[in-house]
Structure 1
Amino acid sequence: MEHIDVAVIGGGQSGPAAAHTLAREGLRPVVLESGKQAAGSWPRYYDSLTLFSPARYSALPGLPFGGDPDRYPHRDEVVAYLLRYAERLDADIRTGRRVTSVRLAGEGFELDLDGGQTLGVDAVVTASGGFGRPNRPALPGLETFTGTLLHVSEYRTPAPFAGRRVVVVGAGNSAVQVAVELAEVARVSLASRAPVRWFLQRPLGRDLHFWLTATGLDSAPLGRLQRRPATMAVIDDGRYRAALAAGRPDRRPTFTRVDGPVVTWTDGTAEEVDTIILTTGYQPDLGYLAPLPEALHGAGRPRHQDGASRAHPRLAHVGLEWQRSLSSASLRGVGRDAERSARRIAKQLRRS
């Protein structure tokens, strides 16, 4: 059985960021990515996805994003950047390697991979994000819906929905972005429990992330909250707010129930709907940690403090929402958390 220093599970933005610091600490990290390339879930996001943070604030440790620092990079630019990052990384990146379970083995762990291989490792850093575990809320009657039901992780482009009646459930950045582009070709409602909250993208002539960085709010240690706010504000330069004000799409309170193809709204009206798209977020995709005692809560969320496992000192996490700050799961913030988690792991291994 092959034995390695540190297994980093996930090769998107979080895993390589952690491997960067692990290598600088003198360790030999192996990044295990289930996909065909070291870009994580980014190639599978919807086609029009554009970052809300400028390129200057969207880089991982050790490699600037490149190009105009004030532009807002498109999904494909992010994929290309992540591939460049992986090429320059001083780490062994293995694609097509899905981890199915992690179990204790002495002071370290054994990892089972899809296909039958087993690795012995001294420490583990999880960086698998949540794309593989979409959050699908139990809305009344949703299981009876006879139209097309999608999570936003399955959405790519508005073309297949032309001329249809579509309901987008959610009130965050992705919900608004998808609903507005769909409204160009379909009749769309944005359904949410609360009205959409807005943040100006460029208050006082500077990008929002300039102010978050200058004030320290972007990196402030808020991880002890262990949960995201009930509603996240949508970052907007005015276009999305204007589109909703014009009713393209219209915004409504979440429907009260679904019966087959029929959606009933809070005012009692009912109508047939062709498609419901859930933009309701993700949960940490950490099912492979189930064999580790006390590693996860009952809901499958990790038991951790600022990314350090509460039960296993050689287990750390990177890229969790609100892991330590409001930017923990983003390109602009994951590097800080990756550095902390990687140095903590290196310190644990030096003690042995």
Structure 2
Amino acid sequence: MTSAVDVVVVGGGQAGLAAGHHLRRQGLDFVILDADAAPGGSWQHMWDSLHLFSPAEHSSLPGRLMPAQPGEAYPDAGHVVDYLADYEKRYNLSVQHGTRVDAVRRNAGQLMVEADTGTWRARAVISATGTWSRPFLPATPGREVFTGRQLHTVNYRSPADFAGQRVIVVGGGNSGAQIAADLTLDGHVNVTWVTQRPPRFLPDDIDGRALFDVATARRRALEEGRSDTGGVASLGDIVAVPPVRSARDAGLLSVRPMFTRLTADGVRWDDGSHSGADAVVWCTGFRPALAHLAPLNLRGPRGHIPTDGTRVLGEPHLHLLGYGDWTGPASATLIGVGRPAREAAHQIARQLST
């Protein structure tokens, strides 16, 4: 069965919902196809202790403030899921959950979106699939011989899964620091935190509000032809959220340089010494989930798809939304995705009216 709409949005997380909000305001006919069976995007898959970097009022999608969570200065992931589910319902966004998009192809000047529930003919497509479904694992020597448990950030839930075990946490970003803190503060896990370079903590008074302001200032500087301020990366890599501060200040977040290889029962360090391990948690980041766009042959050097803002240069009827600074400053955040979503919807509306 083939259906026709003005716009197909691929992905029903925060970016897809922000896009839907602005497409509705432009009076466009659209559908949002989301692989998850329930609302909430990637937030429904986060680890148990995760909290936002920012207060609720600074973590909102366009048109609807996130309500505060009672007893929590920084809302947890479950609160975000509830907010996104309410947002989807409040604006009556056309989300089809449990629908996986396999491919987007060109056909007679339009785009055909092939999903496991049918095919959609669209005059424009917004890809908002994010990165959570595409975890990155580095090609580390010995990874295939290690007999313990290996998991990525996407699979981590709580310290209870590792009670009494020796766990190595790999990664010097926010997820690495937060998971290492979560495990060490539990007190029942022997944790070793390893990073490629010494971890860079942002000042303790910096949270998501300040980070959004820094990212916005960088965007304005670049738009006005001024020097690149460096954005958030110039300040550090790790937001010192309360659990991270607690573990750090208690001396529990000591860090070691990256090991040289995995062995059957642990890791080998640069000095030749060996440490046993029962599990390794790879907090090594993600890549954009864009396999559904492969039939369009858009990737340039190093696999990058060139864009002007959110619009893909090689396919003007396609927009990418919510993949970080690549497609808009802070666009991978709740508060940051609103502006590029609005710009994408406006561009599409102008394009379809001609």
Normalising by structure 2, report the TM-score. 0.90
TM-aligned CA deviation for residue 67 of structure 1: 2.4
Which moves more between the two structures, 35-44 or 239-248? 239-248
Aligned with 1:188 (options 165, 183, 191): 191
Q: Does the alignment pair 1:317 with 2:320? A: yes
TM-aligned CA deviation for residue 265 of structure 1: 1.6
Secondary structure at the aligned position of 2:349 is classed as helix
TM-aligned CA deviation for residue 19 of structure 1: 1.0
TM-aligned CA deviation for residue 260 of structure 1: 1.4
Can you give the 5+ residue segments of structure 1 that lack an aligned partner in the other structure? none
* Pair 1:130–1:222, CA change in 2 (3 A): farther
* Pair 1:255–1:214, CA change in 2 (3 A): closer
TM-aligned CA deviation for residue 322 of structure 1: 1.2
Aligned with 1:262 (options 252, 260, 266): 266
8 Å Cα contact 2:212-2:336 kept in structure 1:
no
8 Å Cα contact 1:190-1:249 kept in structure 2:
yes
* Pair 1:87–1:318, CA change in 2 (3 A): same
Aligned residue number for residue 146 of structure 1: 147
Aligned residue number for residue 304 of structure 1: 307
TM-aligned CA deviation for residue 249 of structure 1: 3.8
Q: What is the identity, as a one-letter code, of the residue corresponding to 1:67?
A: A
* Pair 1:79–1:214, CA change in 2 (3 A): same
8 Å Cα contact 1:308-1:341 kept in structure 2:
yes
Secondary structure at the aligned position of 1:112 is classed as strand
8 Å Cα contact 1:287-1:300 kept in structure 2:
no
* Pair 1:289–1:230, CA change in 2 (3 A): farther
**Structure 2 Cα separation of the partners of residues 211 and 8 of structure 1:** 28
C-alpha distance after superposition, 1:191-226 (max 9, x if no partner): 1011111112426xxx5625753894375476999x
Q: Does the alignment pair 1:240 with 2:236? A: no
8 Å Cα contact 2:162-2:189 kept in structure 1:
yes
**Structure 1 Cα separation of the partners of residues 140 and 288 of structure 2:** 21
Aligned residue number for residue 96 of structure 1: 98
Secondary structure at the aligned position of 1:35 is classed as coil
**Structure 2 Cα separation of the partners of residues 16 and 251 of structure 1:** 39
**Structure 1 Cα separation of the partners of residues 119 and 247 of structure 2:** 52
**Structure 2 Cα separation of the partners of residues 289 and 228 of structure 1:** 29
Secondary structure at the aligned position of 1:150 is classed as strand
Secondary structure at the aligned position of 1:81 is classed as helix
**Structure 2 Cα separation of the partners of residues 218 and 267 of structure 1:** 42
Q: Does the alignment pair 1:344 with 2:347? A: yes
Q: What is the identity, as a one-letter code, of the residue corresponding to 1:126?
A: S
8 Å Cα contact 1:28-1:91 kept in structure 2:
no
8 Å Cα contact 2:51-2:75 kept in structure 1:
yes
Aligned length: 346
Secondary structure at the aligned position of 2:179 is classed as helix
Q: What is the identity, as a one-letter code, of the residue corresponding to 1:235?
A: V
Q: What is the identity, as a one-letter code, of the residue corresponding to 1:59?
A: S
Aligned residue number for residue 56 of structure 1: 57
* Pair 1:212–1:23, CA change in 2 (3 A): closer
Aligned residue number for residue 86 of structure 1: 88
1:1-352 aligned at under 5 Å gives the runs 1-67=2-68, 71-115=73-117, 117-183=118-184, 184=186, 185-202=188-205, 209-210=209-210, 212-213=212-213, 216-217=216-217, 220=220, 233-236=237-240, 240-241=244-245, 243-244=247-248, 246-293=250-297, 295-297=298-300, 300-351=303-354
Can you give the 5+ residue segments of structure 2 that lack an aligned partner in the other structure? none
8 Å Cα contact 1:220-1:325 kept in structure 2:
no
**Structure 1 Cα separation of the partners of residues 127 and 98 of structure 2:** 16
Higher helix share: 2
Q: What is the identity, as a one-letter code, of the residue corresponding to 1:256?
A: T
TM-aligned CA deviation for residue 134 of structure 1: 0.3
Q: What is the identity, as a one-letter code, of the residue corresponding to 2:318?
A: L
Q: C-alpha root-mean-square deviation of aligned residues, in Å?
A: 2.7
* Pair 1:210–1:12, CA change in 2 (3 A): same
Secondary structure at the aligned position of 2:194 is classed as strand
Q: What is the identity, as a one-letter code, of the residue corresponding to 2:282?
A: L
Secondary structure at the aligned position of 2:315 is classed as coil
Q: What is the identity, as a one-letter code, of the residue corresponding to 2:217?
A: L
**Structure 1 Cα separation of the partners of residues 147 and 233 of structure 2:** 32
Normalising by structure 1, report the TM-score. 0.90
**Structure 1 Cα separation of the partners of residues 31 and 112 of structure 2:** 14
* Pair 1:155–1:298, CA change in 2 (3 A): farther
C-alpha distance after superposition, 1:21-61 (max 9, x if no partner): 11111101100011112211111111111001111110000
* Pair 1:109–1:232, CA change in 2 (3 A): farther
**Structure 1 Cα separation of the partners of residues 42 and 258 of structure 2:** 28
Q: What is the identity, as a one-letter code, of the residue corresponding to 2:316?
A: P
8 Å Cα contact 1:164-1:187 kept in structure 2:
yes
8 Å Cα contact 2:216-2:329 kept in structure 1:
no
**Structure 1 Cα separation of the partners of residues 144 and 289 of structure 2:** 23
TM-aligned CA deviation for residue 299 of structure 1: 5.4
8 Å Cα contact 2:9-2:125 kept in structure 1:
yes
Q: What is the identity, as a one-letter code, of the residue corresponding to 1:252?
A: R
* Pair 1:253–1:67, CA change in 2 (3 A): same
